[in-house]
Amino acid sequence: MKLEELVKRLDAEVLNAAEPLREIEGGYCGDFLSFVMSRAPEGSAWFTVMSNVNVIAVAVLAEVGAVVLCEGVRPDPAMLEKARSENITVIATKLPAFEAVLRYN
């Protein structure tokens, strides 16, 4: 699914649209960074409540298609700055992670 469709389904806000036409394929939900690094599928949407700069480092390593901040979480300024410099898409939704994943699916 395209980023635009993901944003619509999650009633989300785009905080950094690195690749707005990128196809998002699959998803991963988790906050344990080492799990995300080793288990998130490439090109997937990563659903998380973590909002620090380390999220972007993991997103780069895992090659995820987008980071989805759930439950109204907002990124800290360093995270957003790093997302811009590393070309990582970040969106935010007020939905709980479980509901966000259900709507994505």
pLDDT confidence of residue 20? 84
- pLDDT, one tens digit per residue, over 67-98 is 999 999 999 999 999 999 999 999 999 999 99
Q: pTM of the entire structure?
A: 0.96
pLDDT confidence of residue 25? 92
- pLDDT, one tens digit per residue, over 42-55 is 999 999 999 999 99
- pLDDT, one tens digit per residue, over 18-48 is 988 889 999 999 999 999 999 999 999 999 9
Backbone angles phi, psi at 99, to 5 degrees: -70, -35
- pLDDT, one tens digit per residue, over 1-21 is 999 999 999 999 999 999 888
The tokens 């944003």 sit on which residue? Answer: 7
